[in-house]
Amino acid sequence: MIYFDNAATSLQKPDSVADAVYAAIKSMGNCGRGSHSASLEASRIIYATREILAKLFHIKDASRIAFTLNATESLNIAIKGLLHKGDHVITTELEHNSVLRPLYELVLEGVELSIIKSDFSGNIKIEDIKQSIKQNTKMVICGHSSNLTGNLLDIQRIGELCKEANVLFVVDAAQTAGVFSIDVKEQKIDVLCFTGHKGLLGPQGTGGIYVREGLVISPLKTGGSGFLSYSKTHPDKMPESLEAGTLNGHGIAGLYAGVSYILEKGMEEIRKKEQNLMWQFYEGIKEIPNIKVYGDFSTNERAPIVTFNIADYDSGDVSDQLAEEYGIYTRSGGHCAPLLHEALGTKEQGAVRFSFSHFNTEEEVDVAVNAVKKLAMES
């Protein structure tokens, strides 16, 4: 098996992640639900994971990070907890359904939505965001990188624009956390949503949301918190305000190991390796007849993703052939990014996505390039 579906979930993880999850299952109780050693062990690892994530994202106060199941839950918390009838929100055609679907739901409740259009390379103009801001604009929400093309958005410029306009800036970092540097203060990010199972190398069912100090988000769910049990209302203090119920402590232990590995190995080294593999693959297939590659490859700084089609072959058929004949695992179809597929003209065909990990090798990329060449020759 050669795994090139890391934009969906990272499969190859450090051994320390599995070891940490196993150790946690054998030793951890429920965080904040007792004073015995098993409960305290859970509290310690959850505290330590908040701290290491705060270090990764340059967050001053780790208590501003609440744990969630994934970026989808984080985005739903941010969108549904901040936007109300009469508010205006701006997003882009590059977004994942984790952003689009909650926004569409709120439109039915009286929230006004503007969607910035993409060009044929999958880029948007930041000037279009600026021109869309008006008096009732409350939020700009966008991904740091497209999960379809790998194009990066300049969140530094967008953050500065939002700060000047007194508009909330919410960033979906599902594709970039753990690979690209994120500094919530420097980039003027009010809310950062991330998942643990991709670039952070943690288990599925882990993620988080950072909320800047002074900003209050209405919780998506309420219930047990481990304290104030006789209060009829849920605690309003971060992080407990957004963490009703038992956390995935076992998964969070694995997330701690994943982030520790990233900090020890060096994010820059990880990113450089992944981008080198991406460029090796891109250079190997871009001139193949019948291949059409999507996205902007005019800049070196991009997420390690290459998406393409072979002639008019259904993308699902291509991915199936890659898996069955060559043992190469990729993602095809719509990638939960419907508006960008429409902008690229691939709504019906979908597209084949290769996404790279630093655990991949140059030899694996060579195998993939040759496999794509053979499939293209047969088309």
| Predicted local confidence at residue 131, as pLDDT | 98
Asked whether residue 7 is assigned to any structural domain, the reply reads no
CB atoms within 10 A of CB 233: 7
357 plus 242 within the same structural domain:
no
Mean pLDDT, to the nearest integer, of 122-138? 97
* Arithmetic mean of pLDDT, 217-239: 80
Pick from 73-82, 202-211, 228-237, 250-259: least confident: 228-237
Last residue of a domain, one of 265, 291, 313: 265
Residues facing 213 on adjacent strands:
none
Residues 169, 295: one domain? no
Residue 10 belongs to a domain: no
How many domains does the chain divide into? 2
Query: Residue 306 carries which side chain, given as an amino acid letter?
Result: V
pTM, two decimals, is 0.96
Write down the residue that tokens 């100090």 correspond to: 213
Domain boundary among 231, 265, 299: 265
Distance of CA 218 to the CA centre of its chain: 22
Grade residue 233 by pLDDT with cuts at 50, 70 and 90. confident
CATH classification of the domain holding 365: 3.90.1150.10
Q: Within a domain: residue 3? A: no
Query: Sign of dihedral through CA atoms 44, 47, 48, 49?
Result: positive
pLDDT digits (tens, 9 = 90+) for 100-112: 999 999 999 999 9
Query: How does pLDDT run across 161-207, given as a tens digit for each residue?
Result: 999 999 999 999 999 999 999 999 999 999 999 999 999 999 999 99
Clarify whether residues 163 and 311 are in a common domain.
Answer: no
Handedness of CA 334, 331, 155, 84 (dihedral sign): positive
Looking at the structure, tell me whether residues 52 and 180 fall in a common domain: yes
pLDDT at 225: 65
Q: What does the pLDDT read at residue 32?
A: 65
Q: Is residue 226 predicted with pLDDT exceeding 70?
A: no
Query: Beta strands 88-92 and 112-116: pairing type?
Result: parallel
Cα gap 277→302, rounded to integer Å: 12
Token pair 């499969």 is at which residue? Answer: 11
The DSSP secondary-structure symbol of 134 reads: -
Distance between CA atoms of 275 and 357, rounded to whole angstroms? 9
How confident is the model over 5-43, as pLDDT tens digits? 999 999 999 999 999 999 999 998 777 677 787 887 888
pLDDT band of residue 117 (cuts 50, 70, 90) is very high
69 shares its domain with 174: yes
Q: Kindly state whether residues 181 and 279 are assigned to the same domain.
A: no
Nearest residue to 171 via CA among 179, 266, 156: 156
Same domain for 293 and 188:
no
Question: Which of 212, 235, 265 lies at the terminal end of a domain, its last residue?
Answer: 265
Per-residue model confidence (pLDDT) at position 235? 76
Does 211 have pLDDT greater than 90? Answer: yes
C-alpha angle with apex 139: 105 to 299, nearest 5 degrees?
A: 105
Considering the domain architecture, whether residues 180 and 82 belong to the same structural domain is answered as: yes
Q: Same structural domain for residues 55 and 150?
A: yes
* Nearest-angstrom CA–CA distance, 13 and 25: 18
pLDDT at 42: 83
- Calculate the dihedral angle through the C-alpha atoms of 291, 294, 295, 297, rounding to the nearest 10 degrees: 0
Expressed as residue numbers, the domain containing 242 is 15-265
Instruction: Let me know whether 234 and 271 are in one domain.
Output: no
pLDDT mean across residues, the chain = 95
pLDDT of 352 reads: 98
